[in-house]
Amino acid sequence: MKIAILSRDASLYSTRRLEEAGVEQGHTIQIIDYLRCYMNITSHNPQVIYQGELLEGFDAVIPRIGASNTFYGTAVVRQFEMMGVFAANESQAISRSRDKLRCLQLLSKQGIGLPVTGFAHSTKDVEGLINTVGGAPLVIKLLEGTQGIGVVLTETHQAAKSVIEAFRGLDANILVQEFIAEAKGADIRCFVIGDKVIAAMKRQGAPGEFRSNLHRGGNAEKIKLTPEERSTAVRAAKTMGLRIAGVDLLRSNHGPVVMEVNSSPGLEGIEKATEINVAGKIIEFLEKHAAPNKTHDRIKY
């Protein structure tokens, strides 16, 4: 197979591992900076050009699209789809998962466990918004935040009100969620490929830190999932239309709740914590499922 990895940086761990796994399994791999691609949108002949050369003959693309480049990155993925190339994650599914509000709305419609979440526009409705999620302590999240940035834990009603008003004063869109105290600063990253969780790790936040992101000093270890946690992770990925996803769960008193569904999950933490060749399993998935003009995204919203 000829596989393109859409990544801004060939030296990143995830990009390197995918390239190594593909070469080890006998495939031709090309790493492409998707922001350097340009597109010829011509009737019956869509094309992607990279560094002056026409990109053609690919059997599959693996999108590694950064959150800040979602619009252009998904446009490039979509152009490959128009050319009949199989995408490990389709452009529409990536866009859907990147919109945190849309993601939560879709998950709630499917009855998937979530923290109680509120969303509002006007600062005149702050009191009602706080009451909707059960009052303080609560978590306030910027819709555009990633890797724990723009996430604030407010322990009192007045602090929550002040932070919400400050964010809204900057015209920032925010979510307000109940604080799952029983999680004790830990979450679970489930790595889903197709209809299976192929690896899972528990991430524990640094002392005094409620966010468990490894980028923020957290640590990770292999964990055994319950059947309900496995089912929740797979259902969450399918709800987004993602073939490959990192689903982040919290263990709450009312079962597993989904915090986020990531369309470009990193491989370093999960591979080192579990000692599972996740990159190799992604390549194996492409070997089994990649086919020209094969799309499966039929999600309504």
Residue 143's pLDDT is what? 79
The domain covering 117-179 belongs, at the CATH homologous superfamily level, to ATP-grasp fold, A domain (3.30.1490.20)
Q: How confident is the model at residue 298 (pLDDT cuts 50, 70, 90)?
A: low
Domain locations along the chain: 2-96, 99-112+182-289, 117-179
pLDDT, position 142: 84
Q: Across residues 93-109, what is the average pLDDT?
A: 94
Residue 204 in 3-state DSSP?
strand
Region 85-93: mean pLDDT is 96
pTM for the model: 0.88
171-205 pLDDT per residue, tens: 878 889 999 888 888 899 999 999 999 999 999 87
Least confident of 105-114, 198-207, 263-272: 198-207
Residue the block writes with tokens 């490990």: 88
pLDDT reported for residue 150:
79
E strands in 143-254:
151-154, 174-178, 186-193, 196-204, 219-222, 244-252
- For 128-186, how does the pLDDT look when each residue is reduced to its tens digit (9 = 90+)? 888 888 888 999 988 775 555 778 899 999 999 898 888 888 887 888 999 988 888 88
- pLDDT over 80 (residue 116): yes
Task: Tell me: pLDDT of 121 over 80.
Answer: no
pLDDT at 64 over 70: yes
Q: Quick check: 71 pLDDT over 90?
A: yes
Query: How much is the average pLDDT of 81-97?
Result: 95
The pLDDT of residue 145 is 57
Q: CATH top-level class for 99-112+182-289?
A: alpha beta
Residue 136's pLDDT is 87
- Residue 201 tokens read as 């790790």
Q: Which amino acid is at 299?
A: I
Mean pLDDT of 122-127: 78
> Which contacts qualify for 91-96: CB closer than 8 Å, 24 or more apart?
91/63, 92/241, 92/297, 92/299, 93/240, 93/241, 93/242, 93/243, 93/263, 93/297, 93/299, 94/63, 94/65, 94/70, 94/242, 94/263, 94/264, 95/70, 96/240, 96/241, 96/299, 96/301
pLDDT band at 210 (very low <50, low <70, confident <90, very high): low
Residue 162 makes CB contacts below 8 A (sequence gap 6+) with: none
CATH T-level fold of 2-96: Rossmann fold (3.40.50)
Mean residue pLDDT across the chain: 90
Determine the pLDDT at residue 282. 98
Residues 217-267 pLDDT 10s: 578 899 999 999 999 999 999 999 999 999 999 999 989 999 999 999 999
pLDDT at 36: 96
Cis amide prior to 137 (ω within 30 degrees): yes
% of residues, the chain, pLDDT over 70: 92
Q: Could you give phi then psi for residue 199, rounded to 5 degrees?
A: -160, 150
Structure tokens given for 219 = 């640590």
Residue 208 pLDDT > 70: no
